[in-house]
Each structure stands twice: as structure tokens, then as C-alpha cells.
A and B are shown apart, each in its own frame.
Chain A
């Protein structure tokens, strides 16, 4: 099993577990029909069973298969930039809630263009400014949605 697969399935298992736990507090059903807890509870159980099946299948495959080669794109060095971009986006979204919508996204766009897409700093600044101007024109001037 690839590390990213483990992360996704573990996350999904935790998510299903939380919904299952919370679903236990909801009425499962009455004499006539099922209540609001019916679907979440059953689907959460099915999801957990399927995740367990996938994990068991991966374990069985590992036992029968020869030792796996390192998978490209699964090393820490390859994952870090992706995590960095997601953290940067999260930071920009948090900064948006502090006041300005335009400024944090502008900074994010310059950083993405410069550090990750490999454009020279000046080109990044120019491209980002041009895109921001177009977006400002579309949303703020044409559609009248206030974006600061």
C-alpha cells in the first residue's frame, strides 16, 4: 500500500468512525419508517468494512509479492511540495477572513507561479497582477461583487 493510500483510507476511516459515533445518538427508526440515523449509520459501517477489506487485500498482496521497489512520487521529498502548496492555500484562505480577499490570493499566486511553476519573479508578478486585474474587472466591476 502506498503511503498516500494509507493516509486517505485512514482519514476516511476516522471520518466514517466519527459519523458512526455521532449517528448512534440519532433515532435509527420508528415503527413506520427509518429515522435520520439510518443512512449515516449504515453507510458508515459499510465504508469501514470496505476499508478493512482493502487493507486486508493490501496486506495479503504484500505477503505474496516480492519486496516492492520505491515508488516514484511517494518519497517525502516528492510529497513535501504538495503539502507546502496546500498549507500555503490554507494560510491564504485564513488570511482572506481577516479582511482583504484580493491581497492574500495575490501573494499566493505570485508564490505559486515563482516557487512552484518555475517562472522568473518578474514574470510571476506581471502574470499575477494581470490575472488579478481581469478577475477584479469581472467580479467587482461587472458582476458587482465587492472584492477588496
Chain B
């Protein structure tokens, strides 16, 4: 019992993933700054942001105060659970339970749902525009994302457990080095971009047009929790990709190297593309990535 609480709150769970996530967030800002020939913020910048937000006044809307406050906590709690499951699986792959992949897939949708809940509770018209865009974006990216994961499940013999998928990769090499795995990896990198709310698909909080969108009414503590959610997504999603696609060699050093490489890919996509409108992103996700993911499923079925 004590072990579970320790796992959830400290080591692979809350504290660890938040620290790594905030540092990954700083890495994102720094690389972005270097790409724009700027110097960029110091390494503790995101920690200072969070600390500052904790000390600010929290302004509540006159209606739906409870939903407004509970929505970010819901998202954070589910993400901490994801981080714990993924972290435990990397440390000892045999300790997972059957079906933890499905659990993680469900839990990864909850942060987006908490954004929608909070934005709707704030009763701001711009926030509701952002919430509706976020909703459509979920519909857009979940289909190719789940299809690409189904390709991996088929490749590892119908296993819906991280441990079995990791074992399969330890025996037969990383999934990314097969055709179906490569295609599924490319598709899921694009989907992760949308899950993180990074630039080609950041319509839901477009700062220039709807001024922060879903986050517009948030201040103080709940805003800090949403910032933590963003930071933890930047940790959990690349780790999920590492487990699913690059899981052959899981020593400490190689995990860190793969994590940084994935981060750089994500940041480069973020910095080199313009924002897509919501209809464009929906059309994009339902055409090319979905077709590619179906192709990956078929190739995986034939064992390629």
C-alpha cells in the first residue's frame, strides 16, 4: 500500500513526472528561442512560472465554481496515473496488469475533456469557441492514434499489455524498424502534436485569435494546474511512444536519449509549421494519417 502511494505521488508518478515535464517544457522554449536566434529563458523558468501562479489571486466565475475548480484536478489526477503506469512498466515490464494499454489510452483523453469542462464552466464565449474546437480536435486525432496503436497490438500478437509489447520488442527488435511500425510511428507523432496542443494543431488555444481560448478565464492555482498538465503531457506522450515503438533497449541512458530525440522532433514540427484551421486539421487527420494507419494495420496483419 505504502509502495503504491510512493509510486503515485513521488517516483514515477507526480513529483518526478512534473519535474521532468517542466524541464522538457524549458527545453522546448530554449530550442524554440535558439531557432529564432534568441537566447531563451533560464532552466528554472517554468518552475518560477508555476510558483508565481500559486501566489496569485484566483478569480472564479459567478456560476459553476465547483466544476471550474475540479476540472483541472481531474485532468491532473488521471495524467499522474498514466505517468505512474508508464514509469513502472519501464522499470519492471513484468509487473503490469492485462489491459493497461487500454487504460492508458482512456486516461490520456481525460486531460482534453477536463479542458473542455473547465472552459465550458467559465461561460466565456471565447472559451466556448476553444472548447468546441478542442472537442472536434479530439474526434480528429483519436481515430488515427488508436488505429496506429492497433497496428502495434496486432504486431505483438494481440497483446494489450505494455509488458508483453516490450517483451516482443526485446525479442524481435523495436517496432519502428518494420514497415507497419514505421508508418504507425509517423502517424502517432502527428497525433501527439495535436494531443499536446502544439502549433499545427493548436486551434483550441490560439493566442492570437481567441486569446488563450480554453484557458482564458483561468488564473492563479487552477491555471498552474493546467500548466502542470501541459508539462506532464510533454513527459508522458513521448514515453508512451518510446514504449510502443522504440522499446528494444530500455536502459536509463537510451531512454533519456530517445526522449530527447523525440522532443526535438516534436519541437521542430512545432516551429516549422503554421497553424491549421479546425476544418483543415479535421480534414487532414481523417484523410492521410487515417489511411496510413489503416495501411499500417494491414501490413502488421501480414507480419511486415
Answer yes or no: are A and B bound together in one complex.
no
